[in-house]
Amino acid sequence: MHSHLPTERRARHKRDQSIFHELLRRHEAIQREVEEIPNGIRARTWTTDADLVPLLHMHAKEMHKRVKEKFGLRFWDPAFAELFAQADKVEMSVTLTENGVDVFETSTDLNVVKLIRAHGAIVTAFVEHGGRAASQESPLPADYIRVL
Ligand code: HEM
């Protein structure tokens, strides 16, 4: 069972990658609003391009699954490495909407709340600047205490 897991994960990662690359390429057709709520964020992301709706749906679902499984990515980027390392302390709910996704992310750990807010802003930078933002290391707040 475990012997074929790495191959399966590689295939899954390739699928995930092709989806977020497509989202980055077409980032101008995507909009996003992040609102601070107690202990976290509510992030609404949507698109006016009907072709992109299934990609947004798949991306949010797959990433939620990856966080729960701690199947990390972008290990060179501390903000992402930390997010996966802190996954047990993150509560995430993903609702698919007609034009996109509505996500609530919270934590009872105030340090992790900082990370969640930073991550919300990082996804917003991806939406606003596409590949230009995704090719750079993402900002983490100076007062966030790293676990890695
Ligand atoms: C324009 C491009 C992208 C869009 C529109 C997008 C959209 C989203 C959305 C809506 C979520 C759900 C959480 C939230 O709303 O804050 C999410 C989560 C996530 N995305 Fe993306 N994303 C993009 C690019 C990327 C890229 C390039 C990567 C990685 C290389 C990535 C990795 C992740 C991960 C790991 C999560 C789950 C972590 C979390 O939100 O807690 N995304 N993304």
Nearest of 22, 39, 23 to residue 101 by alpha carbon: 23
Q: What are phi and psi of 10, to 5 degrees?
A: -60, -45
Q: Domain extents for the chain? A: 2-134
Report the Cα 6 to chain-centroid distance in Å: 22
Q: What is the pLDDT of residues 75-122, one digit of tens each?
A: 999 999 999 999 999 999 999 999 999 999 999 999 999 999 999 999
Taking CB atoms and a 6 Å cutoff, what residues make up the pocket around ligand 1? 20, 23-24, 27, 30, 43, 45, 59-60, 63, 67, 73-74, 83, 92, 101, 103, 105, 119-120, 123, 126-127, 134
Tens of pLDDT along 54-66?
A: 999 999 999 999 9
Reading the block at residue 98, the tokens are 């007609």
Strand, coil or helix: 107: coil
Instruction: Round to whole Å and give the CA distance between 64 and 53.
Output: 17
What pTM value is reported for the model? 0.93
Q: Give 4's pLDDT tier (boundaries 50, 70, 90).
A: low
- How far is residue 88 CA from its own chain's centroid? 15
